[in-house]
Amino acid sequence: MIMGIPVEDQGQPSDGQLKAHVGFLHPQAIIFRGSTYAELRANICGQCGYTELFADNPEVLYEAYTRTQGDSGGRS
């Protein structure tokens, strides 16, 4: 389970996708760290409004998350 990942609105130049920054593929690198984002999709109940978010590419996200956790104690 990947816990505590913030959901980000990309602002004015957005492509309309809500994203979550999960980690880096190369956390030790100074540049080109390989930021890994998830595009989020929602399922919404038409009666009560209960909403679930789902992320694309979960395997890549988890790999980046675990690499980042090994990089001096947390996400950057």
Q: What's the pLDDT band for 75 if we cut at 50, 70, 90?
A: very low
Taking residue 54's Cβ as centre, other Cβ atoms within 10 Å add up to 11
Which of 28, 46, 38, 30 is CA-nearest to residue 6? Answer: 38
- Could you give the 3-state DSSP secondary structure of residue 63? helix
Mean pLDDT across the stretch 24-51?
Answer: 81
1-26 confidence digits (pLDDT tens): 887 777 777 666 767 677 777 766 66
Cα gap 76→70, rounded to integer Å? 12
